[in-house]
Amino acid sequence: MARQSPQRPDADEPELDDTTASAAADEVEVDRPVADRALWDELRIDPVEIALPAGTGFTLRAYRPARELTPTDVAERDQDDPFLSRRQVVETEDDEEVVILDEEFAALSAEDEDEEEDDEKRAERRRRGKTEAAEADEDEADEDEADEDEDEADAAGDEEVPVFLTHRGKLLLFKTPESLVSFIRSGAPNDLSQLDSWNELSERVEPADVAPLDEDTYELDLVVENLRGGHDAWDPTLLIEAGEIARDLAYALRLPGVLDMLSAGSSLDDLDEALRASVNGGIGGFMGRRRLKKIGAQTASLGWRTIVGKISAVVDWRD
C-alpha cells in the first residue's frame, strides 16, 4: 500500500503548541505498557519469541553452567522419528558389511599378533631398563597431564550453556503469554524445572511479564525467503540472530545434525562470519561484503531450509 502524504491541518483546527504536543507525546508513552524486567533479571530466565513457518510462539531460555544441567531426554522423541529408524536400518546393514570385512582380514590380523607380542616384550624390557630418575620424571609428567585434563573438564563444566522450556526432546512453544504462564503455574514436568529459580518464577510470573526484548525475538520463518532474494537482499541482523537461536536450540534439544551444519568451517558458518564482518565499517566490512558475494544464495537457502525443518520437527505447540 502506498504511503499517503500527511494532510495539512484545516484552518479552523487549532494548532498545538510545543507544550501541548509534548504532553500528548507523554500520554502516548504512558499508555504503552512496559514489561518489568526485574523478575527476569533476578531469576536469570528470559522470555523468548520464535517465529517458525507454522506460527509464532513464546518460550523461555536460560543459561547455566553445564555441570548444573541434566540434558533433555530424547529417547522418546527418537523412537517417533521415522528418519532415525531408517538410519538405524542403514547402520545395521553397514555393521554387517564391517563384520564381513573383519572376517576377510581375520587371517592377516592373526599373523600380526605374534609381531605385536614381540613388540610388547621388547617394550617391557625397555621399561625395565629405565633409571629410577627417568621413571620419576615420567610419573611427574603423567601427574601434570592428569591435572591438565582435570582443569579442562572443570572448564567445560563451568561453561554456560543454553536450556529452554523443553520436555522429552521437544521445544514447548505457546501461542499466547497467558497459555505460557498457565503452563508454568501448572507444575507440569519440563527441563527448566531443574533450575533453583523455577519455583519462584511459577509463583510470581504474570502474563504481562511475557514481553521478550528485541534481541530475544527471532524470525526463523523469514530466513529462507530472505536468502533466496539474493546477496543484495540479505538482512544481516535477521540472519545473524537466526544463527544464534539455531545454535542454542540445537544444543539444548540435542540436534547434532544442526550443530554440524553450523559448526566452525561449515559453509553456513562462513556465511555467518561474513555477515558479521560486513556490518562493521572499514576494511573489515569491505572484506566481509566481498566474501558474501562468493557464497551461493541457493546453497545457503537450502541449508537453512533444512535447519528450520529440523527445528520445526521437534516443536510441541501449545495453545
Dist. CA 200–CA 43, nearest whole Å: 8
pLDDT in tens, 100-150: 333 433 343 344 445 445 555 655 666 665 555 556 666 666 666 655 655
Dist. CA 22–CA 24, nearest whole Å: 5
Say what the pLDDT of residue 189 is: 97
Residue 245 has which C-alpha cell?
A: 537461536
C-alpha distances in Å from residue 211, one per residue of 180, 214, 222? 12, 9, 21
Residue ranges of the domains in the chain? Answer: 41-74+160-209+217-318, 83-158
Dist. CA 293–CA 115, nearest whole Å: 57
Dist. CA 153–CA 163, nearest whole Å: 20
Residues of the chain with pLDDT below 50 are 1-33, 83-113, 115-116
Say what the pLDDT of residue 100 is: 31
What burial class does residue 168 get, using C-beta atoms within 10 Å of its C-beta: 0-12 exposed, 13-18 middle, 19+ buried?
middle
DSSP state of 16: P
pLDDT in tens, 102-112: 343 334 334 44
Asked whether 229 and 271 are in contact (CB, 8 A), the reply is: no
What's this model's pTM, rounded to 2 decimal places? Answer: 0.69
Asked whether 49 and 219 are in contact (CB, 8 A), the reply is: no
Say what the pLDDT of residue 81 is: 58
Say what the pLDDT of residue 102 is: 35
Residue 91 has which C-alpha cell?
A: 547402520
Classify 38 as helix, strand or coil.
Answer: helix
Say what the pLDDT of residue 285 is: 86
Which residues does residue 317 pair with via DSSP β-bridges, in sequence order?
A: 173
What burial class does residue 144 get, using C-beta atoms within 10 Å of its C-beta: 0-12 exposed, 13-18 middle, 19+ buried?
exposed
Dist. CA 222–CA 229, nearest whole Å: 11
Residue 68 phi, psi (nearest 5): -90, -5
CA dihedral for 152, 154, 159, 164, sign (positive or negative): positive
